[in-house]
Structure 1
Amino acid sequence: MTHKQYDVVIIGAGPSGAVAGSILANKGLSVIILEKQYFPRFSIGESLLPQCMQFLQQAELEQVVLDNVAQLGFQFKNGAAFHRAGNDSAFDFTQKFTEGPGTTFQVKRGLFDKLLADETHKKGVEICYGHQVESVERLEPDVCLTVLNEQNQQYNVNAKFLLDASGFGRVLPRLLDLEKPSNFPMRKTVFTHFEDNINEENFDRNKILITVHPEYKDIWYWLIPFADGTSSIGVVAEPKYFDDAKSESETLLDFLSQDPNLKTLLKNAKPIQDVRSIQGYSANVSQLFGENYALLGNAGEFLDPVFSSGVTIALSSAVLAAPLIEKQLNGEQVNWQSEYADKLKYGVDTFRTFVESWYDGRFQDIIFHEQQDEKIRNMISSILAGYAWDNKNPYVSESERRVNVLAQICQP
């Protein structure tokens, strides 16, 4: 067995791993990223939120994204549109309560993730594709991992600190027995990419379209347009709504035919990839950190795809954790609970309020209410744009109470 020694080892080369790796490399630390797959690879989470641009900027990765928008076909995004039973509503993210970027992009994640990883590699971060973490040998006094390479050979990686950015792979929660049931109901999503051929005049490609099923408020669809005339389209529902006798392709097309607006928009659409599905993706853990390790993004907790919060939470976790690692390796005291877990959880809990109130209908009633106060709209727009950590926003600092009061006012 060979032994390699680094300051930090990161599991996963997705956005949170790349952002954390970039920040650490910018600080002069030696970093290795172990990535089980080969890039580019398919991933969902294709509609970024504007808050992501600030996080990318902190990692000095924003410019490479802006420089490659045209070449990689990233779609400019300035908001979110909603449709329910013939009624439309939309939020312009430039009209928001919180300062910061109001626009971002809708991206094919294979290309986006590879772009960030390649730029991180240029900063001196070693990235090993096709390398899978088999076990954690120890976590103190330093970290030792057993890794399987692409030739099926085992070797050890030693580091002073370990970050898990493995996303839905959830490597450390599995290996360290940290997994905890999510308090969200089990849901399933079925999705693929379409050549959408949308020619409706009032369709706005600069916004994600979120559609509520005309009959069931807890079923919804996403439609994420890309710059090349294709779209990512999916449906999310509890398993009880799915017919196991149907193929995934039949299931998706059947659901899409049930909403009149989507049926019209997609009348000329053609699937261009195999239909995929994910079930039981909501996840939680007993702790987000431990001796010489921390969990980033989806490896720690994933709520739900409805407001595209996954990448934002992942990047937030990376920009919170990386400076703390530098402090710890410099011999300074770090309180990971107050400086990392509590801070990350603050924004996650804001998103949680809005996700839960979406499924029980409270937030849907707010979004589709005919008379909307501009100041309140801007506060909600901030959260939909990803600014879920802004405690000056009353809908962040008192999210549950504020949503409840507003939902009562907006009840149909």
Structure 2
Amino acid sequence: MNSIQHTDVLIIGAGPSGSSAAALLRKKGYAVTIIEKQYFPRFSIGESLLPQSMVFLEEAGLLDTIKNHVEERAFQFKNGAAFLKGQQRSFYDFTEKFSEGPGTTWQVRRADFDHLLAQQAEQFGTEIRFGHEVVAVDVASKHPILTVKNEQAETYQIQAQFLLDASGFGRILPKFLDLESPSDFPVRRAIFTHIEDGILDDPDFDREKILITVHEKDPRAWYWLIPFADGRASFGIVGEQDFFDAYQFNDTSPETLQATFARILADDPALSHVLRNKKFDTPVRTLVGYSADVKHLAAQNYALLGNAGEFLDPVFSSGVTIALKSSSLAVPLVERTLQGGQVDWMQEYEKPLRKGIQVFRAYVEAWYDGEFQDVVFSKNQNDKIRRMIASLLAGYAWDDKNPIHKNAKQRLITLAEYCREGQSPVAMVGME
């Protein structure tokens, strides 16, 4: 092993949180090295961005590179979310929201999107070491040290003044430092792929919105359909294991996964009609038990970004937004640390970040419990309520000016009750 290498900030992972953190740090003049196990472009899900993400991409100087590749990469303009359950349909237009900020974004192939962000971070001066794997972590000293294995299976050590874990589902620091804490969400499985969707002139389908469909036989299960601009789409189904067991799901080979997916879809006439001309032409994949949490998100010489810290659920596409928000919050604190200042990571990073995550959590829980589904498909929402909900679905979970941001879980339960009863909910839940 050679002598220890040095850099100002080490980042594990070149996904959106890693690349955006690197871009922000390079704008401030710091030397940044990213250790990335995979080679880009690489497949990833989480293709439906939220408008709040545009704020963080612009802050990091990454928005223009996405705008410049929209047509080339078939990124689909997105302005909202649509919902389907049997014969019930609903939608929210993100341009008609309560919170200030962008109301539109894109639906993207993450392989292309993440690669573009990483390339731009490199152009800003970040060193990204693709194909390098972290094999040991030492944060006992003031300046953390990683032991890394390169493409030739040779190991080396690199030391930084600060360490950021942006490894996503790899969750490097939680594993090496025993930070993992079990999620209190039920264990769910996702089966997903990319398809040729075959949707042409369907008046009931809007390519500018993600389509979330509730399974007609089990409202705990739902599908995502995220269209791209070239006639293709990301398509997935999420449910608890007993839901999949009912379809004789018994192994995870691509052939079995596709057959299971097809049987599940056939049980949903409304969505089957939307996708009547679809073609499965890409291997089907699966993830199980993806929800995760940690004991803490930061210490004096490291911090966890995005999914490396906590992942909730894919239902409202919050992953990339949380990832970018975490980088935006963390980088000024990293800079203060590098300059010798004191940082209270719990008060200045973990609590503010988790405040928005808890709002997303309330909506995820209410979705699976049924309350939020009742709200979404209710005909009794007025314009004020729709705008408040549209803001949260657009990713503005940190906007505490939004009346349903405070005590979000209880207000959703109350709102659902009044929507079921056909009453005007605004005054009833104290949101006037």
TM range (shorter): over 0.9
More off after superposition, 305-314 vs 241-250: 241-250
Distance apart, 1:400 and its partner CA: 1.7
Q: Superposed, which structure 2 residues align to 1:357-376 within 5 Å?
A: 357-376=366-385
SS in 1 for 2:137: strand
Name the CA distance, whole Å, in 2 between partners of 1:166 and 1:137. Answer: 17
Equivalent position of 1:101 in the other structure? 102
Distance apart, 1:245 and its partner CA: 3.3
Q: Given residue 239 of structure 2, which amino acid in structure 1 is its aligned partner? A: A
Distance apart, 1:121 and its partner CA: 0.3
Q: Given residue 10 of structure 2, which amino acid in structure 1 is its aligned partner? A: V
Query: 2:137 aligned with 1:136, yes or no?
Result: yes
More off after superposition, 247-256 vs 221-230: 247-256
Equivalent position of 2:270 in the other structure? 261
Distance 1:141 1:245, change over 3 A: closer
RMSD of the alignment, in Å?
0.9
Q: Given residue 18 of structure 1, which amino acid in structure 2 is its aligned partner? A: S
Name the CA distance, whole Å, in 2 between partners of 1:112 and 1:74. Answer: 9
Equivalent position of 2:88 in the other structure? 87
Q: Superposed, which structure 2 residues align to 1:218-297 within 5 Å?
A: 218-242=220-244, 243-245=248-250, 247-297=256-306
Contact 1:35/1:132 (8 A) holds in 2: yes
Contact 1:394/1:402 (8 A) holds in 2: no
Equivalent position of 2:308 in the other structure? 299
Name the CA distance, whole Å, in 2 between partners of 1:107 and 1:131. Answer: 26
Contact 2:139/2:301 (8 A) holds in 1: no
Equivalent position of 1:314 in the other structure? 323
Q: Given residue 344 of structure 2, which amino acid in structure 1 is its aligned partner? A: N
Name the CA distance, whole Å, in 1 between partners of 2:300 and 2:331. Answer: 15
How many residue pairs were aligned?
412
Q: Given residue 339 of structure 1, which amino acid in structure 2 is its aligned partner? A: E
Q: Superposed, which structure 2 residues align to 1:45-60 within 5 Å?
A: 45-60=46-61
Equivalent position of 1:154 in the other structure? 155
Q: Given residue 231 of structure 2, which amino acid in structure 1 is its aligned partner? A: G
Equivalent position of 1:338 in the other structure? 347
Q: Given residue 212 of structure 2, which amino acid in structure 1 is its aligned partner? A: I
More off after superposition, 355-364 vs 132-141: 132-141
Contact 1:35/1:127 (8 A) holds in 2: yes
Q: Given residue 215 of structure 2, which amino acid in structure 1 is its aligned partner? A: H
SS in 2 for 1:290: coil
Contact 2:300/2:345 (8 A) holds in 1: no
1:89-148 deviation digits (Å, cap 9, x = unpaired): 000000000000000000000000000000000000000000010011334221111000
Equivalent position of 2:364 in the other structure? 355
Contact 1:77/1:206 (8 A) holds in 2: yes
Name the CA distance, whole Å, in 2 between partners of 1:215 and 1:223. Answer: 18
1:292-341 deviation digits (Å, cap 9, x = unpaired): 00000100000000000011111110100011100111111111111100
Contact 1:35/1:131 (8 A) holds in 2: yes
Name the CA distance, whole Å, in 2 between partners of 1:35 and 1:245. Answer: 33
Query: 2:396 aligned with 1:394, yes or no?
Result: no
Contact 1:139/1:293 (8 A) holds in 2: no
Equivalent position of 2:127 in the other structure? 126
SS in 1 for 2:159: strand
Contact 1:190/1:248 (8 A) holds in 2: yes
Name the CA distance, whole Å, in 2 between partners of 1:366 and 1:168. Answer: 32
Distance apart, 1:241 and its partner CA: 1.4
Equivalent position of 2:208 in the other structure? 206
Name the CA distance, whole Å, in 2 between partners of 1:25 and 1:275. Answer: 38
Q: Point out 4+ residue stretches in structure 1 off by more than 3 angstroms.
A: none
Aligned-residue identity in percent? 54
